[in-house]
Amino acid sequence: MSTPTRKHTALPKAQILIEALPWLVRHNGKTVVIKFGGNAMVDEDLKAAFAQDIVFLHQAGLKPVVVHGGGPQISAALDRHGIVSEFRAGLRVTTEDAMDVVRMVLAGQVQRELVGLLNRHGPLAVGLTGEDAHTITAVRHRPEIDGERVDIGRVGEITDIDTGAIEALLADGRIPVVSSIARSQDDHHVYNVNADTAAAALAAALGAETLMVLTDVEGLYEDWPHSDEVISRLTASQLEKLLPELSSGMVPKMEGCLHAVRNGVTTARVIDGRVQHSILLEIFTDEGIGTMVVPDESEGDQS
Ligand X SMILES: Nc1ncnc2c1ncn2[C@@H]1O[C@H](COP(=O)(O)OP(=O)(O)O)[C@@H](O)[C@H]1O
In the complex, minimum distance from the CB of residue 110 to ligand X, in angstroms, rounded to a whole number? 11
Per rule CB under 6 A, count of chain residues that contact ligand X: 18
Contacts of residue 164, Cβ cutoff 8 Å, sequence gap at least 6: 133, 135
C-alpha count within 13 angstroms, C-beta hemisphere, residue 255? 17
Nearest to ligand X2W of 37, 64 (CB atom): 37
- Indicate whether 216 belongs to the interface with ligand X (CB under 6 A): yes
Nearest to ligand X2W of 204, 295 (CB atom): 204
Contact flags string 25-54 toward ligand X, x per CB under 6 A: ------------xxxx--------------
Nearest Cα neighbor of 74 from 105, 97, 50 is 105
Footprint of ligand X on 48-107 (CB under 6 A): 69, 71
* Partner from ligand X2W, ligand X, none binding residue 221, C-beta < 5-8 Å depending on class: ligand X
Query: 3-state SS string over the chain?
Result: CCCCCCCCCCHHHHHHHHHCHHHHHHHCCCEEEEEECCCCCCCHHHHHHHHHHHHHHHHCCCEEEEEECCHHHHHHHHHHCCCCCCEECCEECECHHHHHHHHHHHHHHHHHHHHHHHHHHCCCEEEEECCHHHCEEEEECCCEECCEECCCECEEEEEEECCHHHHHHHHCCCEEEEECEEEECCCCCEEECCHHHHHHHHHHHHCCCEEEEEECCCCCECCCCCCCCECCEEEHHHHHHHHHHCCCCHHHHHHHHHHHHHCCCCEEEEEECCCCCHHHHHHHCCCCCCEEEECHHHCCCCC
* Partner from ligand X2W, ligand X, none binding residue 248, C-beta < 5-8 Å depending on class: ligand X
Using CB positions, name the residue nearest to ligand X2W.
69
List the binding residues for substrate: 70-71, 92, 192
- Indicate whether 224 belongs to the interface with ligand X (CB under 6 A): yes
* Partner from ligand X, ligand X2W, none binding residue 153, C-beta < 5-8 Å depending on class: none
* Partner from ligand X2W, ligand X, none binding residue 70, C-beta < 5-8 Å depending on class: ligand X2W
- Indicate whether 2 belongs to the interface with ligand X (CB under 6 A): no
* Partner from ligand X2W, ligand X, none binding residue 232, C-beta < 5-8 Å depending on class: none
- Indicate whether 220 belongs to the interface with ligand X (CB under 6 A): yes
Residues forming the site for ligand X2W (CB under 6 A): 37-39, 69-71, 74, 91-92, 102, 155, 180, 192-196
* Partner from ligand X2W, ligand X, none binding residue 91, C-beta < 5-8 Å depending on class: ligand X2W
In the complex, minimum distance from the CB of residue 291 to ligand X2W, in angstroms, rounded to a whole number? 16
**Whole-number Å distance between alpha carbons of 86 and 118:** 32
Q: Considering only residues 111, 135, 215, 278, which one is a binding residue for ligand X as defined by CB under 6 A?
A: 215
Which stretches of the chain bind ligand X, using CB under 6 A? 37-40, 69, 71, 196, 215-217, 220-221, 224, 246-250
